[in-house]
Amino acid sequence: MAIVEVTIIPIGTGSTALSSYVARCIGALREEGIKYEIHPMGTIIEGDLDRILSVVRKMHEVPFKEGASRVITTIEIDDRRDKEATAKGKVESVLSKL
């Protein structure tokens, strides 16, 4: 189980507004039935790493289908194997120590 953050930025679209592209990427993610949450700077996906990377690969194609010619996608993988880590658990662990 890994926790992954993904940010997808289409370049040269002529508008500073990117939310319609992001929404389409999230739409592709939703179809996958995988656990995710949206935050203001990216999307967190949780599950089997290979499964997540396959989903992110599909998301990366979405802006091209919407007309973009250049896409910068950032993927940050947090892969912990000494215990079962969850996205929710990570936040709760920090909050409990505040």
Q: Smallest distance from the beta carbon of 71 to its own copies, in angstroms?
A: 5
In the complex, the residues that contact its own copies under the rule CB under 8 A are: 3, 5, 7, 9, 11-20, 22-23, 26-27, 30, 37-42, 44, 46, 49-50, 53, 57, 60, 64, 69-83, 87-88, 90-91, 93-95, 97-98
Q: Smallest distance from the beta carbon of 50 to its own copies, in angstroms?
A: 7
Q: Which residues 6+ apart lie within 8 Å of 41 measured at CB?
A: 7
Rg (CA), the chain: 15
Half-sphere exposure of 9 (CA within 13 A, CB side): 9
Q: Smallest distance from the beta carbon of 33 to its own copies, in angstroms?
A: 15
- What does the buried/exposed string (b/e) look like for 62-77 if buried means 16 or more CB atoms within 10 Å of the residue's CB? bbeeeebeebebebee
Choice between 34 and 70, CB closer to its own copies:
70
